[in-house]
Structure 1
Amino acid sequence: MNLFESLRQQGVDPQLLDGITQFRNTYLPEADDRIPEVRFTYYGKEVWEKAIAGILGGNHLLLSGPKATGKNVLSENLATLFGRPLWTISLNVNTDAASLIGSDTFKGGEVTLKKGPVYACGEAGGFGVFDEINMAKNEALSVVHSALDYRRILDVSGYGKLKLHPATRFIGTMNHGYIGTRDLNEALVSRFMVIHMPTITKENLELILKEKTRLNDEYIQRFSQFFLDIEKKSLNAEISSKAIDLRGLLNAIGLMEVGLPMVSAMEMGIMDKTFDSYEKELVMDVYATLFSKSLTAQDLFHA
C-alpha cells in the first residue's frame, strides 16, 4: 500500500491530498536518490492533516513528544509523500556551524566550499530534519535560526548568499527529558509550526503489527497490549524510556519468525535495552502476564 492510499484510508482531507499532488507537480526533485523509501507508515489522521497543511503553507515543523511517538517516521513519510530528498541532521553537542553549512576544501587547485547538509538541503529543495534540536549548542542554533528565517537566505561567509529553494522545509524533532536537552527559546520556537505527537493508540499499533508482521489476530492484540503497558509504566516514571522501542519490538517478532525462542527475541529487542536489573524485571513481569512460556512460532504466526 502506498502512502497516498494509506492516507485515504485514514480519512485525511482530500483537499490536502490534492495539494500534495500540486506541490509534487510544481517542484520536481533534483536528488531522487535521497527520497526515502517507506519502511514504516505513520498512523494518525489529525497529525497527518496538521503536518501536510503546515508543509503546504510554506512552514517549518517542530515535532515534540515522548519516545516512540513516530517523530522520525513521520518526517521520513513526509519527504516521501512530497517527493523531496531528505537530509537528517543530528544536532549533538559536537555539531558546529561548519558541519551544518560547509567548510573550505581544495578541489582542482582551488579553495571551494564542501557543502554541509543544511546548505545541500536548501539548494536542492529538500526536507531537512533537525534531529533532537533541543540538544544543539548555541553555535549550531545560530545556523538553524538563519535556515528557518522568513527571508529564506543563508549567508555563507566567503561564498555569498544562498537563496533557499522554495520547496525547502525543515522539521525539528525533540524529546523532553533526555540528558543534555534544554528548553528552546521563544525566538526559535516562533519559526516553527508545532505539532505535539501523541502516544500511539492501540488501534494504530495493531495496524502497524498487522502491516509489518505475520502475527495472528490474538497475538497482534497481545503484543500491542504489552507495548502499551510498558509505555504506560515509562510515562508514570516507573521505568525509563529505554525499553520503549517499537522498532525493537518489530525486530524481535522478526527474530521469532526465523526461529529464535520468544523470550530470547524479546530480550534482544526490548528487555536488554535497559541495563538496570530492577527495570528489566518489571518489563519481564509485564511480559509474563500476557505470554505463556510454552508459546512457539506456530502459535504466533499465520501458516
Structure 2
Amino acid sequence: MLAPANPPLLPAELQQHVGYSRVFQPGRLTFGFIAPLESYPQTVGPYMAGHAAMARKVDDAGFAAIWLRDVPFYDPQFGDIGQVFDPLAYASFLTAVTRNIAIGTAGLLLPLRDPLIIAKQVATVDQLSGGRFIIGVATGDRPTEYPAFGKNYEDRADRFRDALDLIRTTLGQDWPVHQSKYYGELRGNLDLVPKPAAQKIPAIVIGHAGQSMAWTAQNTDGILSYTADPSRVAGIVAEWRSLSPDIFKPYGYGTMFDLDADPDAPFIPGRILRAGRKALIELFKRQEGDGVSHVGLHFKPQRRPASEVIDELAEYVLPHFPVGPAPALTSSALVDAA
C-alpha cells in the first residue's frame, strides 16, 4: 500500500512541539530505542553501565527518540524490570545529558499513578527538556502490581480514560473546572504550573490500554503498538488511518530486535525482529510506504554490543530515513534548556 500523495498534516497545536514533530511527520519513518540501551538476559536485569554515554551516542547519531518503560516492581513471572529507574525521574536526567532527541514514556501506568502528580511531573520534564517530552500512556499488563497499589485490575481501562482526561484538562487549561470519576474534582480555584513548553503536550497510547482503536484515534495523539508479524502492518495502518482520515495521527510500533552481523542476512519472522541491515532497510522502506511513522527498537535480545549496533544503524540505515527539521519553540520555556 502506498502512502497518500497528500497525507494529512500534523495538527496545528502539535506542529510546534519539538519532540513530537521530530518523531512523527506525515510520510516519514523514524527510529528510536526502548531503554535500556543494552542487551540483557531474561532473568537478569540490565546493568545500566554507561547509560548516560549511550544516550548521548544515540542523540548525536540522529535517532528520533528514547522510550522509557514504567515497571514499578520486579515480578519473577515476567522476568523484566525495564530500564530499572522510574521513567519520569530518568526522563528528567536524560533531558539534561542530551540535546535534540525526544524523550518519551512507553508508557506511564495511569491506573497506578496519581494523574495530577503525573501532570505536574510531565510538564516539568517538558519544560526542562525544551519541549522534547512525549507522554506515552498505558494500563500495564501485570495483574500482580495492582493489589500493591490498592487498585482494582478489572476497572483499569475505565480508570485509564478518566486519568488521561484529567491530565489533559489540567495541562491544557488555565484554572480548570473538571469532575473526575475516580480522582477528585477541580473547581476553578487552582491552576497547575508549569504548563507545557508548547501549546500542547502530546499523549500517545502504548499498546492498546484496553481501548478500542476508534477511541484511541479520537482521544489521543497517536499509538505506539506492538507487532510480531510485519505482514499485518499494512492492514493495521490502513484501519488506523481510516479512523482519522483528515488529521495526521501517527501509527508506530515497538519490537525487540537483533541485528545480524552479516549485512546480507535475511529477515527471520518471529517475536524478535532478526535480520541483516539490507533486509531491514527493505522492510522499513516498505513499512514507510504503508504509513508507519515510527519504530522503537528494543535491545534486550541483541547478541552484539549495543554500541556497535548503533554505529551500524547510524551509518547504513538512518541515511534512508532522515529525521525532519525540528521547529523553533514558539512559547518561552521557564528554563533555559540549552
Whether the TM-score (by the shorter chain) exceeds 0.5 is: no
Tell me the TM-score normalised to structure 2 length: 0.32
Q: Which has the higher helix share?
A: 1
Q: Which has the larger radius of gyration?
A: 1
